[in-house]
């Protein structure tokens, strides 16, 4: 069986969106997944493939990363960045697969690839990834993927989780809107936060979740009644765990980046102003009231 190096280094939502494609490739390849260390356990417990922890955030880390990815026959870069495609090239793989130039952010990354795949960019990014996987393994179908083993033991909470932060400021819903929403929800509202986000969450004025690692976060999201937030990793993790979500979208397209399986539960201004502040509190409350949560 050929050895395949998968490259998708980060971030949380993108790793989640890549897992189904990697699971679809397992029957044909012996796989190692080059991924940043915080996501290694997610890769191993959900995708069921060995993580190859690498970091390319410092130049001093490059030699270690290169040694970690040696001796692969084939590589596939799901990220489309210069650093990810260069890492795939460093593996020594003779076949180096990637998206074509229309579907990647950093066009010079193509220098390091020799098999390029066009995908239907009107589809969700999970389906982009599956189309790339199908180029390596024709006939591969969308697999059933169970994220539940990743979550820590049950907390038995039925909170309404608010996610005030996002990877980029323009993807954050204004904190004062979250504050107004929390007042409307009442005592069941709880703000979840990650590194560097505690003060932002505190400004909402509702209950605060404790500091969590990724598996503890997954447990909170799994046990929630509803999770409300922008285009961010925890929202995608909640959807993958089967929790009901409300996605708030402005500058990113929910058809491509929305919570997979729940695209009808997005409030979006992408076809108009593309601004998060154009989403009103009443729109979110209205969606919650359309499908009321249990008491």
The pTM of the full predicted model, rounded to 2 decimals, is 0.96
- What SS3 state is found at 279? coil
Give tens-digit pLDDT for 11-48. 999 999 999 999 999 999 999 999 999 999 999 999 99
Q: Which residues lie closer than 8 Å to 25 by C-beta, 6 or more apart?
A: 4, 6, 31, 76, 133, 136, 137, 140
Q: Which residues lie closer than 8 Å to 17 by C-beta, 6 or more apart?
A: 125, 126, 129, 236, 260
* pLDDT of 295 strictly over 50: no
Which of 61-70, 97-106, 129-138 shows the lowest mean pLDDT across its residues? Answer: 61-70
Residue holding tokens 């990810």? 84
Q: In the prediction, which pLDDT does 60 show?
A: 72
Confidence of residue 179 (pLDDT cuts 50, 70, 90): very high
């Amino acid at each position: 069986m050929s050895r395949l190096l998968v490259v998708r280094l980060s971030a949380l939502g993108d790793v989640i969106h890549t897992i189904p494609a990697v699971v679809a490739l397992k029957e044909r390849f012996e796989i190692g997944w080059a991924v940043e260390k915080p996501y290694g356990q997610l890769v191993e417990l959900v995708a069921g493939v060995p993580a190859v922890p690498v970091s390319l955030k410092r130049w001093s880390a490059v030699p270690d990363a290169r040694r970690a990815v040696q001796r692969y026959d084939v590589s596939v870069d799901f990220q489309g960045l210069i650093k990810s495609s260069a890492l795939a090239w460093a593996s020594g793989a003779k076949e180096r697969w990637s998206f074509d130039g229309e579907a990647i952010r950093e066009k010079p990354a193509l220098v390091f690839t020799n098999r390029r795949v066009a995908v239907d960019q009107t589809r969700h990014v999970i389906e982009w990834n599956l189309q790339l996987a199908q180029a390596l393994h024709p006939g591969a179908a969308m697999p059933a993927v169970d994220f539940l083993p990743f979550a820590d033991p049950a907390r038995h909470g039925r909170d309404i989780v608010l996610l005030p932060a996002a990877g980029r400021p323009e993807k954050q819903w204004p904190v004062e809107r979250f504050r107004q929403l929390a007042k409307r929800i009442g005592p069941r509202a709880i703000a979840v936060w990650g590194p560097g986000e505690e003060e932002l969450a505190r400004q909402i004025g509702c209950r605060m979740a404790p500091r969590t690692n990724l598996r503890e976060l997954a447990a909170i999201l799994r046990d929630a009644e509803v999770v409300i937030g922008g285009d961010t990793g925890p929202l995608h993790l909640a959807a993958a765990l089967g929790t009901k979500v409300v996605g708030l979208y402005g500058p990113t397209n929910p058809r491509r980046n929305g919570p997979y399986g729940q695209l009808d539960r997005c409030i979006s201004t992408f076809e108009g102003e593309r601004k998060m502040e154009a989403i009103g509190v009443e729109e979110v409350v209205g969606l919650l009231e359309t499908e009321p949560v249990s008491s």
